[in-house]
Chains A and B, each alone.
Chain A
């Protein structure tokens, strides 16, 4: 039995306004596509916030009102084998502030590419244990403006992510945990000097690296997935927004979000599925307290010679 219940969820982890990571998070769930199966589909998300953290101080900004971020993305996941998948995500992002005079921004953001490898999958106790290593890169596809927070569509940094993920499933219930380290390259901005906690006479900005911890648990079968997710993103370094200042790409940006996702497989042959979900920033630093909702439709195209394959990944739900 095939298993292709990928849950692509977007964590529009928001920077004070813009999605920092709007990548599909198929790279962060414990689900693999079968060999020569290609799962692809459009995704839409809408996130907004009214309050944000200026350093540790939670505040609103009447000159921004509600800042919203919309993303349209195409995501895909291809199974080189049942233990090795490649994934991509390309979002088009639009940001807007409901008050004040700041101009909205839009554009193609970053292309992310991930390789997901499951070297270990075995029966352990009453359930199945699997281990994944995931590596990815993301790089800006266009020359979009990073130095316009909170309305910039991204930070324009090239990133490399290394992730270790563990999953354990007993019957129809699972728990997944992962830890990631995100290397983020410096960026260049359109001005020749900027102030952080000191003056920098350069157009180059050091973007702090980041860590991400993700925990998810719930119900998982080949027909339906329902899960709760906690995500903890923290930059390693960076500085706080000073009082009544504008945010800056090299701010210390932390966010803990909680969320839920549902994936439902519509058709009998399992190749059409619907995904929906949302998340909320419960605590953060130099980020907006965003509420984000998203939905997507996925279709699986089978490139394998036969239409049916056995369950090579060993997951038996």
Chain B
């Protein structure tokens, strides 16, 4: 019977198709096969670039390297050769992975740690919320809760520390001018692209040392994972023939020492007090009421204290605290005003008549719980573009530092504004507004996504001018996503973008005078 045969065939095809589908489920990440870093320009004079925190590249002293004709050096070359003699596929993979660039990979690892820790603590039985403790990071609630401000600060410190450490490293590279091992011993195989950049101290180990040191502060409960990555990174560089062990040791020590200066700064940057206390939380409410406004209330059950209400007081990188206040925009429409009613209605209409396309935009930019946050999303966007630009490590670090200092300072200005006005969310003014992504636990005005995106698009457009229009339209879309999702009013988004751009312009200003352009 023909129909029967057809059905049998259908059955067979379905099962076979299923098996094929099942057998081919591996997923390749977008940067898994990133090409080996092969800088178009080694930026040999980057030792003269302007550091963020160091007074001079010589703040940390790096001892002169041993001569390449000493038995000690020859022994280090032999270490490379012995690795290469018994190369395992795991080692080959490590060389390829780390060969794509130290700043890139450690930024990805940082994003991973942020995503892992971006989880609001569960409430206590009495309806209060526990606060993560840096002193006891592995006890619940795990430390940190890497919410967007925490994450923005983490990205900025790590990037800035990497940058300063690399500026110093470049200074010493040029000063000591020790050739790479494969230039000293021409019989040595090299598994990554060759470079004219002097190899002492190792730029990879500088980045690794600086990052690991920063991570002790930022992610104290993940040391096993971090140390394993660090070991793999250092090993990959030796295996590849790019560095001898003394390059690595000197680089790691330099990176750690520079990072310690950033750790000291971080301990005093007021972030530790950003969570505030009951008196502060109450004052936010009473101040708004005194101004005749409806104050923001937490929409979670049980009510969670506002997220980092004193983050606006954290020490910025690109400008001073008075500038933070001068960057604060004027007030949002009064909660009693017709304009606020109209804007609430506009947001309501977006969620009432939502489209699949809008929902996709909301989710693309949501970067909420369990993700690397909006600053991490912009780091991902930047990284994928930087990969195509063949930047040197030091230029990678400089560009990431400019981006991430913008994002942190954007967070500070944004949080200052949010708690200065303490404006309610659309869902508070109209409970019929259901949201297409989680509703954040802080006031609405101004939109964090918009501020972050405005800042990021501005500095990235300066770094890669041919992408400026693309970044600007991404920022616009990220901003609008918050209205489509029922999270924000138009005023929050439009003002947030402008404030973000203003913050980003400080990074652009710095970029034009830091010696790299």
**Residues 86-124 of B at the A interface (beta carbon under 8 Å):** 108, 111-112, 115-116, 119-122
Whether A268 is near chain B, meaning CB under 8 Å from some CB there, is no
Q: Out of A104, A115, A242, A246, which one reaches B11, CB within 8 Å?
A: A115
A115 touches B301 (CB 8 A): no
B294 within 8 A of A: no
* Best-buried of A102, A136, A148, A191 by chain B (most CB within 10 Å): A191
For A204, list chain B residues within 8 Å (CB).
27
Q: Which of B1-41 contact A (CB under 8 A)?
A: 1, 3-4, 7, 10-12, 14-15, 17-19, 21-22, 25-32
Question: Which residues of the other chain, B, contact A104 by a CB distance below 8 angstroms?
Answer: 434
Q: Which residues of B contact A148 (CB under 8 A)?
A: 363, 436
Stretch at the interface among B150-158, B253-261, B354-362: B354-362
> Given A101-B433, A103-B486, A137-B14: A195 and B21 within 8 A (CB)?
no
The interface centre, meaning the residue of A148, A190, A242, A245 with most chain B CB atoms within 10 A of its CB, is: A190
Inter-chain contacts of B17 with A (CB < 8 A):
137, 160
Q: Is B140 an interface residue (CB 8 A)?
A: yes
With A160-B14, A190-B359, A243-B119 known as contacts, the answer to whether A202 contacts B21 (CB < 8 A) is: no
Q: Are A243 and B122 also in contact (CB < 8 A) when A195-B112, A195-B371 are?
A: yes
The reply to whether A242 and B119 form a contact with Cβ atoms under 8 Å apart is yes
Cα of A147 to Cα of B369 in the assembled complex, Å: 13
Does A199 lie within 8 Å of B427, measured CB to CB? no
Chain A CB count within 10 A is highest, among B4, B18, B433, for B18
* B372, A185: Cβ atoms closer than 8 Å: no
Contact of A103 among B31, B111, B351 (CB under 8 A): B351
Give the Cβ gap from B359 to chain A, nearest Cβ, in Å. Answer: 6
B439 at the interface (CB under 8 A from A): yes
A-B contact pairs, 25 of them (CB 8 A): A101-B427, A102-B438, A103-B434, A103-B435, A115-B10, A135-B10, A135-B11, A135-B12, A137-B14, A143-B356, A148-B436, A158-B21, A160-B18, A190-B359, A191-B371, A194-B371, A195-B116, A195-B371, A199-B108, A199-B111, A199-B112, A205-B27, A243-B122, A243-B140, A246-B438
A-B residue pairs, 5 tightest by C-beta: A160-B18, A183-B18, A199-B112, A195-B115, A190-B363
Q: Which B residues are within 8 Å of any A CB, using their own CB?
A: 1, 3-4, 7, 10-12, 14-15, 17-19, 21-22, 25-32, 108, 111-112, 115-116, 119-122, 140-142, 299-302, 351, 354, 356, 359-360, 363-364, 366-367, 369-372, 377, 380, 427, 433-436, 438-439, 486
Q: A101-B435, A200-B27 are in contact. List 8 more A-B contacts (CB 8 A).
A: A84-B4, A103-B354, A103-B435, A115-B10, A200-B29, A246-B369, A246-B438, A248-B370
